[in-house]
Structure 1
């Protein structure tokens, strides 16, 4: 069914791209189309699909839904979040320059430093919570600004609108990208704040079941849509139809999941902030957060992400956890805990980790959908074990 911009988030997530009348059998749940190729009526005469890399009905359903809930015009699904990053970087030419926020997913940092650099694309990492840092980092060859907010793992909040306005006042041709993986389009809409692209690791909250690796990009720009659609096909970093079917299913419960993630995450953050074995807690909805007021203006809520410095032995703490699982990734229904310094951000240089404060006392939690009291009890006993 067509969606109206006035429709609520859950309505769009459930119905956008899902019209049963688009299939002759009128299936309410869009079919999983696994075919890698399609019969043609004549040479180069097809009915919208010719080869699975170039297009797939199941993938198209997902991309339509993603664009609708993001408030975008075009959606693109990729085989991973880093696949989506690779596709956006392919918009650039050798000699171009990217300004990237300093506290960013370790895989993004690694890709920019070790892969883009081989193509003579230069990167400047800077603390984008200070707009002057971004402005001062712009060079004549700068073609892209890469923001991640909240950041990973320190949950810094970057003023999306202010950064983009400052950049556009200098040059209108610079492409702006916002990684929205930590809060999703349910809590934050970067396109409405002027971003050219929103990028996701769909593996995280958007899918929410820890059973899919996939990425996505959404935009409103007609000119960039044509370029990125070409890149998606030419590079071939597309997801499987089955994974697209899984994520399309998961989006239907995104609103209710994010509300529960927020409630549990905030309860955990408040508990940790009052605990004697915790030194400092990072959560955008805590008044103690440095960008608390900005977070309230820019986001309508927060996910289950909580980061803190432990006053104790982090290894003992992590090994003592019973409900929280020691594992990388985030955003699933199950609660996870990790040590970024040796796990998700191990690929950063030691100097970069030191400058950001990513040390062996910093713990990142992805608070899931379990019973709140059970999560708090688990953290409490593990914190006590960290002192033994």
Structure 2
């Protein structure tokens, strides 16, 4: 490993903080071999390769890379939730706009029919000499005709009032439908902009993470993966050692078992942001489809799942429950029992089984509770 790489990895991590493109592609991240001062810094023992003398420094630098990758992928997950939320809202708004358009068409047809009826009444009056029914009634000489006519006048008045009232109501409905459709169109356009912004953010963060990873040599990537496993194991061990699962005996319900069966059957399928299967999934795409397969529709995003689904204590969770992670509810996994979860971790990973305590837990929710 060449000299001067410690400066490169430090610069790379700093630059990625601003989510910009890293320079010097293809250069591996490794610690430089320091140039010791004869008077103050002893060199490595005789026969020790320079690389061996800098292993600890490289580990620290790789740990910084790991933390930066976690931050980048976490930000991408937050943006993915925003994208999915905008997508779901756009679908609902589009459906509402279509429904409103149908109501407007039906309202116009109804209004035209009412106008025809009003026109027919006016023509009938014209054929009667242009006199109102009341005037014609006063000209009648027959008591029977007078009484019969009086009844018809009352009926006609009621019918006319009802017709005018229905025409007014139909016209008001049409105006309201038009206003609602205009509002939905504005919200749909705002949602499209939010979706585009989220998509841009996702691609930027993932590209930055991939760029950072591409700077590592094979040996460094292997050690980085080991650091990731070690961090996850440390968190899981501490979580289990807390005794949080002591006495946990909850068994999955019928629908929960079906959801677990579906989710675990997806193991090995790649993560893809915004995906709901059947070949790729993001974290909430996996959990929402798993519960849909069990006959219970749940919100699409991890944040909506956290906000809308009934919450249960971690100590009371059972297989099929959803564990929400991080303070911003940006990740979700399904508890499968024995302290384990199945989840779609992040870009570049596949659906897998992991320790439930390997990430910071926000809480637990139970679909269908």
Common topology (TM > 0.5): no
What's the TM-score once normalised by structure 2's chain length? 0.21
What's the TM-score once normalised by structure 1's chain length? 0.21
Structure possessing the higher relative contact order (Cα contacts under 8 Å, 6 or more residues apart): 2
User: Whose radius of gyration is greater, 1 or 2?
Assistant: 2
